[in-house]
Chain A
Amino acid sequence: MKRRLISVLLIMVMAMSLLSGCGPSSGKEETKTTDQSVSGTKEENKTEEEKKEESKPVTLTIGLPGGYDVTSKEIIDGFRAAYPHITLVIDEAPWGDFTKKITTQIAGGNAPDIWFQENAAVLGYGDMGAAEDLMPYIKRDLKLEEYASNLFSAQEGEKVWGVPHGGNPIALAYNKDIFDAANVPYPTDDWTYEDMIEAAKLLTKDTNGDGTTDVYGLLTAGGITDGWFPWINSAGGQALDETKRNAVFNDEKSLKGITEWVNTIHTYKISPSRSTNNELGGTAQMFGNGMGAMMFLQYSLGSAVLNTNFPDLNYDTAKIPLTFDGSERVVPNVSNTWLIFSKAKEDNKEAAWTFLKYYLSADVQKLVAESGSTIPVNKEALAYVDTLQSKPLNKKAYTEGVDVAGVTLDENKCWNEWRTAAQPIFNDIMDGKTDPQTGLNQIKTDVQKILDENFNE
């Protein structure tokens, strides 16, 4: 009996010491410990110190969302071989749940030295001071003429909070077999949205005559990147203005674009409704199943969905059409962005930058290109993309599109907040539950409120 009591008491004492050990650390002190290696085990720290005495090597912790599925193993291994004095510790998490993990890690004061995330999130980190300003590094080490303009997609004023892990723009994908069968000429880079809609009308078919459409001319998407964002720009409209601090949304031109977007479903009936689309697995799945002649296809979906699940699909891409009046082209481009944690040790920051220089070099960027999941930012690698033989063959639709007309999705530090507010109303507009004018007015009000809250503090 006594023994049991003693062991219970022991546990209590241990727990109390644990508690007192962590009580005060929750406040300010965490900043001091942040720069310790993420794994936090004592062993690791020891070896780190030991190595330091020898040749001043660095242990660099790198956060890899999606692991080697997203950043190919070849790249990481290549870095390890080229820079033996930098020990790379990989901290990985599933792609979809990385945000939750990194948020907790930042709060707990032990984020990796370097990681990548969606560009908008990186802008947020820059704003709160968690991301290192890379402008001095870029000016010091990079030759700007070697890179496409989206090298600066994380720029805010004079500061750059990160460099692209890769871009993921959209292009107009078309099913050649459906075009051939209907005897309609393939899309070209001169097409306007008008041309696209007209062609889609010719391609929409009820093949078995049961009164419901079997092949849609166009698969209009409801989301932001391939849905309302390109369409709001299709007649020269805008979501936010150039300062990214004011909502536009409901001007004449935006209204025209969004009205046409809805018309593809309800008036021209060249596109399936949002519910049909969802139930059939989304636009890419429908396109793969031959149920649609055209769609706005994000670059990554080509290799991940179409080429993997539908190897026989006969498709190619053209650039996103010109606006209705033919005056300009807007190619939405989402990117993931590498950032360096501002509280990393100086040596680690330098090592992290070494990694980024390596990552941005032409040879490595070609590996990025070969992965097929993302568009590189290095021009030599961009040219190399065009020579790749995987489908879609016309990769210029992406590479040139992005170089000439690429835009971000009006990203700013509260992008996630305002686009989450806008999306459900866009859904209602697309479903016909709200008319475009009322909906856009509502969106403008809601989004402006969020922008004001976040920028006027």
Chain B
Amino acid sequence: MKTKYIKRYFYYIILAIGAFIMLIPFLWVFSNSLKTPENVLRIPPQYIPNPLTLENFKIVLKELSFMRYMANSFFVVIMNLIGTVFSSALIGFGFAMFDFKGKKLLFTLMLATLMMPSQVTMIPTYFIWSKAGFLDTYAPLIIPGFLGQATGIFLFHQNYKSMPNVLYESALIDGCNPLGILFRIYFPLSKPTVMTLVILTFIGAWNNTMGPLLYLQTREKYTLTMGLLTLNSSPIAGANMGVRMAGAVITMAPVILVFLFAQKYFVQGNISSGVKG
């Protein structure tokens, strides 16, 4: 019993040290966002801002049409979530459950999509969208999500592949067709995977800078990351490190909230229902 306690404390200590290392940079960003310009870069560094100022946040909120960008970002992200989760589950299920012509080739291609440096596929992809007349719209940022995204497909594939075969067989006997089996049985059972993908997709879409940079032209359509880029390279505000850090904090805040919210779900259900044996 005693060793068990020691082990537990050991866990806490390790976790706490690790967590602190992970947090240092974030704390630094946060602290600098509250500093006056002359205190930002100083030797020795000032760890706790003194005097404390909210001026940086005010500048960010004023310079960026912040709420507008935020709303745009949310729109893009939510569309991406819907598209990516459903298409990835569908495609991942297809790969995990069925043997069909060209499967090997397709599976290899899926992996390959992750391997090509985006700098070279960027220009041909831009061709497609510009010829299709979708410049300065959100379509180039959203539609690809509906056609499956490799990491998501892969996640579902591995998940469904490791589920017991009897699940499928018994559902088939009950008269479900494969689509029904996916959405009635497999999909609800893969909640942790869904939540993982929700988080990853949220972050990916939220932090996407290249897409908005290339495809959006009017400022009213900018997403939050574009706002941050604008701020960082603005010759006036960007020269002030505190302002840039405040911009970073504002950009990060929604993602943190979503993570805290989502993680509640993706730790809950240890799957136990429906598994026989």
Within the complex, the shortest CB–CB distance from A101 to chain B, in Å, comes to 6
Whether A25 and B127, one on each chain, are in contact in the complex, defined by CB atoms closer than 8 angstroms, is yes
Q: Does B205 contact A (CB under 8 A)?
A: no
Q: Does A109 contact B (CB under 8 A)?
A: yes
Q: Does A185 contact B (CB under 8 A)?
A: no
Whether B41 and A108, one on each chain, are in contact in the complex, defined by CB atoms closer than 8 angstroms, is no
B227-256 CB contacts (< 8 Å) to partner A: 229-230, 232-241
Whether A109 and B130, one on each chain, are in contact in the complex, defined by CB atoms closer than 8 angstroms, is yes
Q: Does B177 contact A (CB under 8 A)?
A: yes
Number of A residues with CB within 8 Å of any CB on chain B: 46
How many residue pairs at the A-B interface have CB separations less than 8 Å?
113
Q: Does B30 contact A (CB under 8 A)?
A: no
Measured CA separation A69–B235 after assembly (Å): 7
B-side contacts of A97, CB under 8 Å: 209, 213, 229, 233
Within the complex, the shortest CB–CB distance from A2 to chain B, in Å, comes to 12
Whether A94 and B135, one on each chain, are in contact in the complex, defined by CB atoms closer than 8 angstroms, is no
Measured CA separation A76–B245 after assembly (Å): 30
- Which segment, of B76-84, B118-126, B193-201, B260-268, faces chain A? B118-126
A26-B124, A67-B219 as given contacts; A39 in contact with B234, CB under 8 Å: no
In terms of DSSP, what is the predominant structure of the interface of chain A? helix
Measured CA separation A413–B185 after assembly (Å): 63
Q: Does B61 contact A (CB under 8 A)?
A: no
Within the complex, the shortest CB–CB distance from B211 to chain A, in Å, comes to 12
Whether B213 and A101, one on each chain, are in contact in the complex, defined by CB atoms closer than 8 angstroms, is yes
Q: Does B46 contact A (CB under 8 A)?
A: no
Q: Does A289 contact B (CB under 8 A)?
A: yes
Chain A 25-66, CB within 8 Å of chain B: the 1/0 string?
Answer: 110001001000011111000000000000000000000001
Whether A92 and B133, one on each chain, are in contact in the complex, defined by CB atoms closer than 8 angstroms, is no
Measured CA separation A418–B179 after assembly (Å): 59
Q: Does B112 contact A (CB under 8 A)?
A: no
A94-B213, A308-B240 as given contacts; A285 in contact with B235, CB under 8 Å: no
Q: Does A209 contact B (CB under 8 A)?
A: no
B-side contacts of A404, CB under 8 Å: none
Cβ contact of B217, chosen from A70, A92, A288, A304, cutoff 8 A: A92
Number of B residues with CB within 8 Å of any CB on chain A: 40
Whether B132 and A280, one on each chain, are in contact in the complex, defined by CB atoms closer than 8 angstroms, is no
| Most chain A CB neighbours (cut-off 10 Å) among B209, B214, B226, B239 | B239
A69-B234, A280-B41, A373-B235 as given contacts; A104 in contact with B229, CB under 8 Å: no
Whether A104 and B219, one on each chain, are in contact in the complex, defined by CB atoms closer than 8 angstroms, is no
Chain B 213-226, CB within 8 Å of chain A: the 1/0 string?
Answer: 11001110000001
Measured CA separation A67–B230 after assembly (Å): 9
Q: Does B2 contact A (CB under 8 A)?
A: no
Within the complex, the shortest CB–CB distance from B17 to chain A, in Å, comes to 26
Q: Does A82 contact B (CB under 8 A)?
A: no
Measured CA separation A142–B43 after assembly (Å): 53
Q: Does A10 contact B (CB under 8 A)?
A: no
Chain A 218-260, CB within 8 Å of chain B: the 1/0 string?
Answer: 0000000000000000000000000000000000000000000
Q: Does A310 contact B (CB under 8 A)?
A: yes
Within the complex, the shortest CB–CB distance from A36 to chain B, in Å, comes to 10
Q: Which chain B residue has the least Cβ–Cβ distance from A290?
A: B38
Chain B interface residues (CB < 8 Å from chain A): 37-38, 40-43, 122-124, 126-128, 130-133, 135-137, 177, 179, 209, 213-214, 217-219, 226, 229-230, 232-241
14 A-B residue contacts at CB 8 Å? A22-B131, A38-B135, A39-B135, A41-B133, A95-B230, A96-B232, A96-B233, A104-B122, A104-B126, A281-B41, A289-B38, A304-B236, A305-B239, A309-B37
Given contacts A41-B135, A94-B232, 7 further A-B contacts (CB under 8 A): A26-B127, A67-B219, A91-B217, A97-B213, A101-B213, A308-B37, A310-B37
Chain A interface residues (CB < 8 Å from chain B): 1, 4, 18, 21-22, 25-26, 30, 33, 38-42, 66-67, 69-70, 90-97, 100-101, 104, 107-110, 280-281, 285, 288-289, 300-301, 304-305, 308-310, 373
